[in-house]
Structure 1
Amino acid sequence: METELRERIINASLVLFERHGFHGVTVNQIVETAGISKGGFYHHFSSKDELLFVIHDIFITYVLERAASSNQQSLPPATRLRSIIKDFVSVFDIYKAHLTVFYQESIYLKPEHEEIVKRKRQQFKGIIQSVIREGVDTGEFRKDLSIEITTMAILGMVNWTYKWYQRSGEKSIEEIADYYIDLILHAVLSDSTK
């Protein structure tokens, strides 16, 4: 019941923030849309600012936990990178509304919340870098790869998905993930592992 109420608040705010922007929405509108009391809102969130942070944190935590889990497996770097990219791309479908609000409204995050989000994004980037570094060190990936540029290319390419991905589009999110994986692995694998 508690989790369900929290989800109702988040879902109502996602719809409202997407439509009217963070500053165009009041707590009263959120509780009215969610069909709850103001006390119910403040039981779960100390403020609208905290709610915005939680919206951001949900998908960042999801993708970070999945990447950390993939990276802990005793598998070759290419297999781990494939798994990380697949989970990363899936987030644009699972948390589509969260991401839209994130990109529209992240400038309104409080500095302390922004710092947490930034730290998690850095951790995620670090996991991708470590997998690429290991792939280069073991010879599975090309020796001439720039670990930093390759990491930023992957993050940039996949992050841009939020701009154009539509559930009703020609390709499913799984097909898009497979396409990215194919593209990235063809770029990073050494000739001996292709």
Structure 2
Amino acid sequence: MGAMRTKNVADEVTRAALELFSTRGYANTSVQQIVEAAGVTKGAMYHYFTSKDDLLFAIYERMLSLQKSRLDEITARGGPAEEVLRAVCVDVMETSIEFLPEGTVFFRSVHMLSEDRQKEVTRRRREYNDQFAAIVERGQASGVFRDDVPMAVLIAHFFSDVHYLSHWYRPEGPETKTEVAQQVTDLFLRSIRKET
């Protein structure tokens, strides 16, 4: 019962914060508004989150952790670099669509995080990007992927589509999240494949 209550309070606070940050903006949302919308006390919120900053980080951290664990699973299975990269790209697109509200709020507000939190986000994203780059490098070494474009450009090419999902993706559109993920992945892989 205690564990269930714990989860409910943290989840309710997170849900309320996400909704308020997306409608009012991070800077225009107070802790008082969050606890009122969640139906909890400030004390209950502060039991799980040390600050509004901590709450914004937690919203994004869920998606980041999921994507990193999925990346680890996919790479652990092994296989040819192009197959692994395809699976990773489809996964990151699908999970980013699943967490579209979280990603939208985060990318709008990341610059408002404390310096320590920004460094932590940078560290976590760099860890993901380094693992992603290692897959591309494996494909370059085997002659599948082009090596005439800097790695930073190749990575930015794919992740710009991910980071700007909220600007162009609509859940009510004709394609499912999987179809969109596969289409974007196909375009990316075609663009980095070495011409024969």
TM-score, normalization by structure 1: 0.91
Number of residue pairs the alignment of both structures matches:
192
Residue 180 of structure 2 aligns with which residue?
176
Distance of 2:148 and 2:111 partners within structure 1:
37
Q: Secondary structure at the match of 2:77?
A: coil
The structure 1 segments of at least 4 consecutive aligned residues displaced by more than 4 Å after TM superposition are none
Q: Against the structure 1 CA distance between its residues 43 and 180, is the aligned structure 2 distance closer, same or farther, given a 3 Å change threshold? A: same
Residue 135 of structure 1 aligns with which residue?
139
Q: Which moved more, 1:142-151 or 1:49-58?
A: 142-151
Distance of 2:28 and 2:167 partners within structure 1:
22
Q: Which amino acid aligns with 1:66?
A: R
| Alpha-carbon shift at residue 139 of structure 1 (Å) | 2.1
Q: Which amino acid aligns with 1:24?
A: N
| Alpha-carbon shift at residue 189 of structure 1 (Å) | 3.0
Equivalent pair of 2:74/2:88 in contact (CA under 8 Å)? yes
1:62-77 superposed matches below 5 A: 62-77=66-81
Q: Which amino acid aligns with 1:98?
A: E
The answer to whether residue 72 in structure 2 is matched with residue 101 in structure 1 is: no
Equivalent pair of 1:31/1:41 in contact (CA under 8 Å)? yes
Residue 61 of structure 2 aligns with which residue?
57
What's the Cα RMSD here? 1.7
Residue 34 of structure 1 aligns with which residue?
38
Equivalent pair of 1:136/1:145 in contact (CA under 8 Å)? no
Equivalent pair of 2:67/2:95 in contact (CA under 8 Å)? yes
Gapped regions of structure 2 (runs ≥ 5): none
Distance of 2:56 and 2:150 partners within structure 1:
35
**Deviations for 1:40-86, whole angstroms, at most 9, x for unmatched residues?**
11111111121111112221222222222212222111111111111
Identity %: 27
Distance of 2:135 and 2:194 partners within structure 1:
15
| Alpha-carbon shift at residue 10 of structure 1 (Å) | 0.4
**Deviations for 1:132-153, whole angstroms, at most 9, x for unmatched residues?**
1000111232354543322221
In structure 2, which of residues 98, 106, 114 is the aligned counterpart of residue 110 of structure 1? 114
**Deviations for 1:135-189, whole angstroms, at most 9, x for unmatched residues?**
0111232354543322221122332222111111122211111101211222233
